[in-house]
Copies of this chain bind each other. A is one copy, B any other.
Amino acid sequence: MENHIAPVPLDKAYRLLNHGPTVLVSARAGGTDNVMAAAWACALDYAPPKLTVVLDKIAKTRELVEKSGRLAIQVPTVAQLDLTYKVGHRSLFDEPDKLERSGVTLFDMEGHDLPFVAGCSAWLACSVIAEPSNEQTYDLFIAEIKAAWSDTRVFKNGHWNFETADPGLRSLHYIAGGRFYAIGESLDATEGKSQ
């Protein structure tokens, strides 16, 4: 799987999130790794690329993000439907073996001390921009994207190719109660032109 991973230029990194996928958030601190799901993650800026993500105070992953100042954001796939639901509804506080039981395999990216989730379609290595008031009042974290990668079978040369890739590589968009939607067909506005 990891043979298909290639870097995404930072000026194209926002495109990995622009269509609003549910993401996986992972973090590492003090020898502990964790992964959670988040529907509330969003691009915030192009250059340097930034994003927002909402991390509830009850989440173990938030504790690791606060300790390390770093997090990885990943775009999970249709093939990871149950994994995404499980890491979003189990807590490392209650289940120390949460990751194994959720089917998560972690891997490393050279130069980034973060736990990346295998099998996703995109990965973003981020550093938190400390905004304590946002974090305390709204559970809202702002982070700068320091590096990005994609699975080239579905995102290549700055473009998603959901319409031609394996349907199992489509992004997930969570609603509630275990119900997700996969991303669907591509549509081009009449006045647009692909960049």
Contact = CB atoms under 8 A, between A and B. Distances in A.
A194 interface: yes
Contacts of A89: 191
Contacts of A1: none
A181 B162 contact: yes
Nearest to A184: B184
Copies in the complex: 2
A44 B175 contact: no
Interface of A: 15, 18-22, 39-45, 50, 52, 54, 78, 81-82, 84-86, 89, 131, 133-134, 138-140, 142, 158-160, 162, 170, 172-195
21 contacts: A18-B40, A19-B20, A19-B22, A19-B175, A19-B181, A20-B42, A20-B173, A44-B140, A52-B52, A84-B189, A85-B190, A86-B191, A160-B175, A162-B181, A173-B173, A177-B194, A178-B189, A180-B189, A181-B184, A183-B183, A184-B184
